[in-house]
Amino acid sequence: MKVWDIYTRLWHWLLVCGIFFQWLSAEILDDQMQNHALMGYTLLGMMIFRLCWGFIGPEAIRFSRFVPSWHTLTHYVSSSNKHIHVSHNPLGALAVIAFIGLITMQAISGFFMDDEIFFTGPLYNWLSASTTSLIAEVHDIAFTGILLLIAIHIIAVIYHRFKYEPFIITAMVSGNKPLANPYPTLATFQLHLRAWFCIGLSILIVWLMVNHLPDWLGVEAAFY
Ligand code: HEM
Ligand code: HEM
């Protein structure tokens, strides 16, 4: 059965490329701050898309299907015989939420950054200098958190690949898992309509945040 729809799969692999580019553009390459910011806005939009998709997307991707209760989580962790989940397992669900939270925090803190040369984020001049430098610390520390989570995520996926679900990685490419479908499916038209609604909404929110929020907050443009 199809578990991961095309939008979720594209989202996942674009996310991998985007995070890699953010590291490359901030830590390795020179003169890439403009592109770093553009990719940061894109990643913020992708997080908004995923939040929206988690409510109106296909069943397997909905938060209501995979976010565990405390009881489900502790039962899953303590059980020695872990059964295969069609959507994310309870620990995987925690990782999904942590990824969305951390990447959103990273992207929003970027709005307050400057590179001490040419580039200033759109909200750089909004708060006091000490608060802004604290937020810059968040931009640094949250990325360490993201890297740690990526390491745990990849180890967990590989572990599941060999121990429980040989198809777990290919499923993020093809979308299919050889399991019975317990969920009602979305008609193709509905899938695309809902996805483009989420995409449009994310673009609108990010566009407003980048282009109009500074004006609304009365932020002075920074000049060097
Ligand atoms: C920058 C690196 C990565 C990030 C930030 C990341 C993030 C994520 C996120 C957020 C999800 C949840 C998808 C959703 O619900 O929409 C996910 C799922 C998944 N990721 Fe990654 N991922 C990364 C790298 C990888 C790599 C390298 C692999 C392959 C080895 C991989 C394999 C998977 C698989 C198989 C799932 C589905 C897990 C399941 O069936 O529960 N990821 N990833
Ligand atoms: C999820 C999105 C983002 C990721 C993963 C990310 C990642 C990073 C990393 C790893 C660094 C280096 C940390 C350090 O040197 O302290 C950095 C620095 C920086 N980021 Fe981001 N960033 C993101 C979004 C943004 C956004 C949206 C902006 C601006 C609007 C931005 C602006 C900056 C600036 C100005 C620096 C400082 C570079 C320097 O010191 O030369 N970032 N970012």
pLDDT at position 60, please?
A: 92
Q: Is 19 in the pocket of ligand 2 (CB under 6 A)?
A: yes
Q: Is 94 in the pocket of ligand 1 (CB under 6 A)?
A: no
Q: Considering the domain boundaries, does residue 202 fall inside one?
A: yes
pLDDT at position 131, please?
A: 96
The two three-digit tokens of residue 152, written as one number: 């745990």
Instruction: Give the residue, by CA position, lying nearest to ligand 1 atom 3.
Output: 16
Q: Considering the domain boundaries, does residue 99 fall inside one?
A: yes
pLDDT at position 121, please?
A: 95
Q: Domain containing 112: what range? A: 6-216
The end-to-end CA distance of the chain, in Å, is 56
Helix axes 70-78, 90-110, angle to 10 degrees: 120
Q: Looking at the CA of 58, which ligand is closest? A: 1
pLDDT at position 82, please?
A: 77
pLDDT at position 81, please?
A: 76
Which amino acid is present at 134? Answer: L
pLDDT at position 205, please?
A: 98
Q: Considering the domain boundaries, does residue 34 fall inside one?
A: yes
Q: What is the pTM of this model?
A: 0.95
pLDDT at position 118, please?
A: 84
Q: Considering the domain boundaries, does residue 222 fall inside one?
A: no
Counting the structural domains of the chain, the total is 1
C-beta separation of 38 from 195 below 8 A: no
User: Which residues in the chain show pLDDT less than 70?
Assistant: 222-224
pLDDT at position 223, please?
A: 57
pLDDT at position 183, please?
A: 84
Q: Considering the domain boundaries, does residue 223 fall inside one?
A: no
C-beta separation of 126 from 219 below 8 A: yes
Q: What CATH code is carried by the domain that includes residue 76?
A: 1.20.950.20
**How many other C-beta atoms are found inside a 10 Å radius of the C-beta of residue 52?**
19
C-beta separation of 42 from 199 below 8 A: no
Q: Considering the domain boundaries, does residue 149 fall inside one?
A: yes
Span from the CA of 16 to the centroid of ligand 1 (angstroms): 8
Q: Looking at the CA of 32, which ligand is closest? A: 2
Q: Considering the domain boundaries, does residue 221 fall inside one?
A: no
